[in-house]
Amino acid sequence: MNLISLTTFDLALASVLILLLALLSFRMQLGISRTLLIAALRTTAQLALIGLVLKYLFDNVNLLYISIICIIMLLVAGYEVMSRQQRRFLGGWGYGVGTLSMFISSFSITLIALHVIIGNDPWYQPQYAIPLLGMMLGNTMNGIALGLDRLSNGAWQQKSIIEARLMLGHSWHQAIAQLRHESMRVGMIPMINAMAAAGIVSLPGMMTGQILAGAPPMEAVKYQILIMFLVTAGTGFGTLAAVWLGAKRLFDDRERLRLDRLSSKE
């Protein structure tokens, strides 16, 4: 591959754009300049760290080490889902709903892809396993966060409507069905839009990276199609599971709406 190496100076030049954006945000009093700079520092440190970790894993292929990295990725993704909720579930449910849903969807689809579709040997080869799981978790995390946020805020706003349905004899499934369906739709829209726009409006990140690294365009296209299908399926299944679990948590055994299980809006 005809790969052009980037120097630290090249990256420093790119960082000037972020500094200019932060300065402009500060002058306009948008209140995001500090958050923007912290995010830039985090992405630099986190990507540099994962680069070192992946280098070690590529040189020392070990299922135990790879499993530890995957579990850490899942736990961090679960925390990010919880932290993005304006009205999160209290207790272990606040963390468990998103984490369990991502584990079920992302890990199962990643294993299917590694075993059945890609078929690399060994199947846990970090060159494929880590990036694939990372893309699965990242996109599934966004879908679940959007779905749960819509569910919890919607339940709070539609409290009287849901309780009126319950008083009319509806089950909890029926009382919250419309909101549950809307929450699932909201969580899946970003990936549907991404698939619809791929190749016309935008060139997806993985495909762009492979082409920049010198891979044949059609080979990059095939991998990108595979990734888009896998990620969309993982996001969809994860969002469906998370919203269903979250909706069930909003009711007790006597099918009463329990908004006291949600935190106050931050």
pLDDT digits (tens, 9 = 90+) for 216-256: 888 888 888 888 899 899 999 999 999 999 999 999 888 88
Please say if the pLDDT value at position 265 is more than 70: no
Peptide bond into 217 cis (omega under 30): no
CA 154 vs CA 2, 106, 121, 232: distances in Å: 51, 26, 47, 24
* Type of residue found at 47: L
Q: For the residues 85-114, what does the mean pLDDT come to?
A: 89
pLDDT band at 74 (very low <50, low <70, confident <90, very high): very high
At residue 221, the pLDDT reads 85
Condensed to tens digits (0 to 9), the pLDDT of residues 117-146 reads 888 788 888 888 888 898 889 889 999 999
At residue 8, the pLDDT reads 86
User: Quick one: how far is CA 31 from the chain centroid?
Assistant: 25
CA 91 vs CA 88, 144, 183, 262: distances in Å: 9, 18, 22, 9
Condensed to tens digits (0 to 9), the pLDDT of residues 180-209 reads 999 999 999 988 888 888 777 766 777 777
